[in-house]
Amino acid sequence: MGKNSSKLWGGRFEGETAPAVEDFTESISFDYRLFREDIKGSIAHAEMLLESGLLSEPELIEIRDTLEAIAGEIESGRFEFDKKHEDIHMNIEAALIERTGEAGLKLHTARSRNDQVACDLKLWTRGAIDSTVSLLDRCQKVLLDRAEAFPDVIMPGYTHLQHAQPVLFSHILLAYIEMFDRDVGRLRDCRSRLNICPLGACALAGTALPTDPALTARKLGFDAPLSNSLDAVGDRDFAVEFVFSLSLIATHLSRLAEEWLIWSSSEFDFLDLDESFCTGSSIMPQKKNPDVLELIRGKTGSVYGALTSLLTILKGLPMSYNRDLQEDKLPLFGAFDTVKETLSILTPLVAGTDIKKERVTLACKKGYMDATALADYLVLKGLPFRESHRTVGAIVSYAAKQDKKLSELSVGEMRGFSELIGEDVFKILGVRNCIENYRSTGSSSPGEVSRQIKYWKKKLGG
């Protein structure tokens, strides 16, 4: 072995690695998070080596027991990482060799750090996906609880931030449940695609040793072993796909945060946020600032940045493994941490938020939100929709000049615009009538919202 014997890969080298290079190339400062996956993968690999006749049973037992002891030390904070060993894989292997000698020296048989790190990262991402799905499930259930708590509250529905049509507050909450459900679907799709075990690819070309990658895959809970060794070590599609899914989750979280920020503003004053999720001003004693919602909105940018970072790392890489891939972990970990933290705080925030019924009732009196109902009324009387639309537009213009709501106009006034309007028009005017008259699937009618709530209670197990 060369003079650089402190490195497990140092046989070809005559001198020591420059300290600046060690500082620049180390990843133990962040990939230590993979220690559970690394040890789990190493134990499965050792068990496969035993079955393949490349390791004895006593050696397997010694390796397994020592790795489990190292895991316990890392969990408790007693294990000392050394950046001269570069990463989590070499730190654990160096400790194993130091404690077991020859048995530890055999563990890396038919394995490279290239397929090892790919395996660790897939195992970690799989667990992170499961954790994210669980957090989304909790958030959906809280939204569903709030929808049940306010089944009859009518509020303005907006397009272009202008009053459009009346909707039930519970219907809006259910819309976010729908968004998060698509997020869950994307995460599960991603999990299914990543669940191919890369161990057995070694550095890039496989091995001439008698190994059984299918056995390793089964032990680690993968659906199948690799099918192409080059792709197995160079693939990070699963990381990109996961972070893309996290980016869409962050988008949905930010949309909810933005909407609730608007609704909790002094101008709208629709929501009463739990003050334990708000902060005050250093100079203005009256302030109750919705900082949590603002940070949820702001943190979305860092998740998007992680996605851009991963795509940029991958875009110019030739086959197969390149050290650039070391840089995949910080954006991956960071995006997950941000979304995990955001979902964890949003769930109790939603649970503690109330809607101010008087304020939304007052808001519903503005904006002629029953105009579409009047247009539909004329359609049912036989008027083509475009003619109906034009007629109702004229009626709204007239009502605005009179400073009246549509329901405050007389039948005679309305008949001045269309002879089709009769006394029955008052059965459809007003926001409560609008809500009661909705009938299409997925609409904001009480019946449809009740059906949707029952559907989600059954699906979410609530």
Least confident of 69-73, 284-288, 316-320: 284-288
Structure tokens at 448: 């449809």
Least confident of 3-17, 165-179, 218-232: 3-17
Confidence (pLDDT) at 6: 66
Closest CA to 48 of 215, 225, 220, 222: 215
16 lies in the same domain as 89:
yes
- The burial class, CB within 10 Å (0-12 / 13-18 / 19+), for 145 is middle
154 lies in the same domain as 241:
yes
| Residue 4, domain member (yes or no) | no
304 lies in the same domain as 370:
no
By three-state DSSP, how is residue 359 classified? Answer: helix
Mean pLDDT of the chain: 95
pLDDT at residue 265 greater than cutoff 80? yes
| Residue 2, domain member (yes or no) | no
Radius of gyration (C-alpha) of the chain in whole angstroms:
31
Structure tokens at 415: 């008949």
pLDDT at residue 239 greater than cutoff 90? yes
Domain CATH number, residue 293:
1.20.200.10
Q: Which is higher by pLDDT, 144 or 22?
A: 144
Name the strand (E) or helix (H) holding 355: strand 354-355
Angle, CA of 175, 180 and 186, to the nearest 5°: 135
183 lies in the same domain as 66:
no
62 lies in the same domain as 140:
no
Residue 15: pLDDT band (50, 70, 90) is confident
| Residue 197, domain member (yes or no) | yes
305 lies in the same domain as 198:
yes
Closest CA to 428 of 347, 359, 386, 372: 372
Confidence (pLDDT) at 365: 93
pTM for this one? 0.93
Q: What is each CA distance from 97 to 93, 168, 270, 454, in whole angstroms?
A: 6, 65, 64, 58
Task: Please count the other Cβ atoms lying within 10 Å of the Cβ belonging to residue 102.
Answer: 9
User: Which residues are 131's β-sheet partners?
Assistant: none
| Residue 122, domain member (yes or no) | yes
Domain CATH number, residue 93:
1.10.275.10
Contact 381, 373 (CB under 8 A): no
Tens-place pLDDT, residues 318-329: 999 999 999 999
| Residue 447, domain member (yes or no) | yes
Angle, CA of 292, 298 and 300, to the nearest 5°: 110
pLDDT at residue 450 greater than cutoff 60? yes
Q: Which is higher by pLDDT, 216 or 12?
A: 216
- Taken in order 61, 62, 63, 67, is the CA torsion positive or negative? positive
- The number of residues making up the chain comes to 462
- Residue ending a domain, among 329, 362, 395, is 362
Tens-place pLDDT, residues 189-221: 999 999 999 999 999 999 999 999 999 999 999
- Residue ending a domain, among 76, 109, 142, is 109
Rounded distance between C-alpha atoms, residue 105 and residue 116, angstroms: 16
Residues 6+ apart with CB under 8 A from 435: 154, 166, 167, 168, 444, 445, 446
List the catalytic residue out of 5, 265, 281, 344: 281
Rounded distance between C-alpha atoms, residue 110 and residue 122, angstroms: 19
177 lies in the same domain as 271:
yes
The DSSP line for 434-453 is HHHH--STT-SSHHHHHHHH
Rounded distance between C-alpha atoms, residue 118 and residue 197, angstroms: 9
Q: Has 266 been annotated as catalytic?
A: no
Q: Has 440 been annotated as catalytic?
A: no
Residues 6+ apart with CB under 8 A from 449: 147, 151, 168, 170, 171, 174
81 lies in the same domain as 165:
no
Would strands 196-197 and 354-355 be described as parallel, antiparallel, or unpaired?
unpaired
191 lies in the same domain as 317:
yes
Residue 281: pLDDT band (50, 70, 90) is confident
225 lies in the same domain as 175:
yes
How many folded domains does the chain comprise? 3
- Residue ending a domain, among 90, 109, 128, is 109
356 lies in the same domain as 377:
no
Domain that holds residue 122: 114-362
Phi, psi values for residue 326, rounded to 5°: -60, -30
160 lies in the same domain as 301:
yes
| Residue 3, domain member (yes or no) | no
Question: Among residues of the chain, what percentage have pLDDT more than 70?
Answer: 97
Contact 199, 114 (CB under 8 A): no
Side chain identity at residue 82, one-letter code: D
Domain CATH number, residue 382:
1.10.40.30
